[in-house]
């Protein structure tokens, strides 16, 4: 059974999707061992507590350098013996050392079809605002491995979602979450935990 650490910063609806999938027995060979929040006020912490999951807060602004922040994260990850790290709306950038220590063991969910509307500065509602400003007719979500390039790692799963006329960033975010993120993330986690993801360069194959 693999230990999954989920890193969050906000509402935690993707965390909830993982918790629900776990309770339905759909995270084959995986269990959430801890939830680490970058924000002490994150509602995601309440969701974890309600389901009896261990929580910790590691906020970037409490540390003088990104190296110290990474060390604190590492300590929490090691204390829950994490085999897999999920970034579920985690809004801080991880340092290179942590990323290489957990190479191909960190998965992120991003609310657009990468390589569109991604990278530094594209997070949360800003992504959906950018999609609407551009006039795109289709957006979606991407679940990918994390490397040192923001939103640049190998893609595991993607799903397209229609942009509708009259959409606001909030209505578009809700549709992308409901139709894509909450389905793709538990699916990718389950595939990883069953050892069914094979990475070759930028390609991820399903075994
Ligand atoms: C989600 O839409 C997630 O894809 C996005 O933040 C939201 C978090 O919502 N992540 C990013 O933008 C990372 N680049 P949640 O806290 O309800 O899961």
CATH number at residue 184: 3.40.50.170
Q: Model-level pTM greater than 0.85? A: yes
CA of 89 to the centre of ligand 1 (A): 4
127 CB less than 6 Å from ligand 1?
Answer: yes
CB 37 within 8 A of CB 64: no
Containing domain of residue 133, as a range? 2-206
Query: Which among 11, 88, 106, 128 is the best mutation to test ligand 1's pocket, defined by most ligand atoms within 8 Å of the CB?
Result: 88
Domain count, the chain: 1
89 CB less than 6 Å from ligand 1?
Answer: yes
CB proximity list for 63: less than 8 A, separation 6 or greater: 69, 72
Alpha carbon distance 186, 205 (integer Å) = 17
User: Tokens for 195?
Assistant: 């050892």
CB 152 within 8 A of CB 110: no
Which is the closest atom of ligand 1 to the Cα of 110? 4
- pLDDT < 50 stretches in the chain: none
Task: Clarify whether 110 is annotated catalytic.
Answer: yes
| pLDDT at 83 (0 to 100) | 98
| pLDDT at 62 (0 to 100) | 95
User: Tokens for 90?
Assistant: 């985690």
User: Tokens for 151?
Assistant: 């939103």
| Residue 58 CA from chain centroid, whole number | 16
């Amino acid at each position: 059974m693999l230990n999954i650490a989920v890193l969050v910063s906000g509402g935690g609806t993707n965390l909830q999707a993982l918790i629900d999938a776990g309770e339905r027995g759909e995270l084959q060979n995986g269990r959430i061992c801890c939830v680490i929040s970058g924000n002490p006020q994150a509602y995601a912490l309440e969701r974890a507590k309600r389901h009896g999951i261990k929580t910790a807060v590691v906020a970037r602004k409490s540390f003088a350098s990104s190296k110290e922040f990474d060390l604190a994260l590492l300590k929490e990850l090691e204390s829950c013996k994490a085999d897999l790290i999920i970034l579920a709306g985690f809004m801080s950038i991880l340092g290179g050392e942590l990323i290489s220590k957990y190479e191909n063991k960190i998965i992120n969910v991003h609310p657009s079809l990468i390589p569109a509307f991604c990278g530094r500065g594209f997070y949360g509602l800003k992504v959906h605002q950018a999609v609407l400003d551009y006039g795109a007719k289709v957006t979606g979500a991407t679940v990918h491995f994390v490397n040192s390039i923001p939103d640049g790692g190998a893609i595991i799963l993607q799903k397209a979602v229609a942009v509708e006329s009259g959409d606001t960033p909030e209505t578009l975010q809700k549709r992308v979450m409901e139709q894509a993120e909450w389905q793709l993330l538990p699916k990718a986690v389950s595939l990883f935990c069953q050892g069914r993801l094979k990475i070759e360069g930028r390609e991820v194959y399903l075994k």
